[in-house]
Amino acid sequence: MNDDNPSPLDHQQALVAIQGVEQSYGVNRVLNGLSFALRRGEIGCLLGASGCGKTTVLRCIAGFEPVAAGEIWLNGILVSRKNYSLPTEQRRIGMVFQDYALFPHLDVSANIAFGLHGLNKPQRELRVAELLETVGLAHAGGTFPHELSGGQQQRVALARALAPQPELLLLDEPFSNLDVELRERLSLEVRDILKQQNATAILVTHDQHEAFNIADVVGIMARGAIEQWDAPYTLYHEPASRMVADFIGQGTFLPGTVIDDRLVQLELGTFQAELPDGWPRGATVDVLLRPDDILHDDSSPLQAEVLHKAFRGAEFLYTLQLPGGGRVMSLVPSHHNHAIGEKIGIRLEIDHLVAFRR
């Protein structure tokens, strides 16, 4: 979805609906007509480079920042527009931060119970016990934060945010302080926890793997707006713009020529493609090829030279040069260990071609 398109859900259908939101810090425009919507029970993610406005979106949703234009709706209620902002404490929003923000003088149970107002003691204890079980810390209620690992502290922070059963959970780079292996494992665990609790959540991250592990739908942010709001699979295989294609995953572009409204000629052969209306015959296009589109095939007559190789355990990522000078990447099982300069057989196998007008 391009940033000037309306949100696919209106504020009556969505739990969260952001419509044309703008925000500036001084003369610096941070959000520029940003729109997206999220259904109840969905996990959304704002993915983009540092400085693109991701955290500002969360702050506006939470009510920490006013909006200069546009509207924010939560559960059918208008909570923000120019010169109006529903107080944060009335929005029923939970937040998880990258630094955990746990109270060091309170044990784990007391941290989780901190936001449980209006419940009697047995009810609070039951809710805390349920969440400790949910986040895998059933025997750690009497432990203090400094006695826990980083991953355990982040689970406690998640349990504390979920305890009051908020309408919406906001997660601001929640795994950035963790090492890569723990980050990936915990991101999968957090998704399971959120789904088990039927929570609606918005995650902010610059890490694609994290976004794809957790989110049902991901928004690619650039220049303060949403470039595309889609399922991870769609973003990877059907990027709506050259910017999204460059940002998501790995890949290379090969030049191609439009033969007719459904055929493109590449160095690798002639392929069918769903081309936009109005692309003239003979037009030059750039065709996106992912590493999983290029298959190693010893029997293929098309030979490519190995320029670079990166060992990834189960597979190699090869950078290959085609006879005509074009370059592609290919993921190859690691028992095919080819030397730099060696030529290997390859073939193209893709479901659909993604092309952009040069």
Q: In this predicted structure, what is the pLDDT of residue 11?
A: 60
Domain 250-357 class in CATH:
mainly beta
Long-range interactions of 217-220: CB distance < 8 A, separation 24+: 217/38, 217/42, 217/43, 217/44, 217/45, 218/44, 218/45, 218/46, 218/47, 219/36, 219/44, 219/45, 219/46, 219/47, 220/47, 220/48, 220/244, 220/247, 220/248
| Mean pLDDT, residues 238-246 | 91
Domain map (residue ranges) of the chain: 250-357
Band of residue 3 on the pLDDT scale cut at 50, 70, 90: very low
Tens-place pLDDT, residues 60-82: 999 999 999 999 999 999 999 99
Instruction: Return d(Cα 104, Cα 144) in angstroms, integer.
Output: 7
Band of residue 181 on the pLDDT scale cut at 50, 70, 90: confident
For residue 75 the two structure tokens come to 């559960």
Instruction: Return d(Cα 219, Cα 270) in angstroms, integer.
Output: 33
**pTM of the predicted structure, to 2 decimals:** 0.88
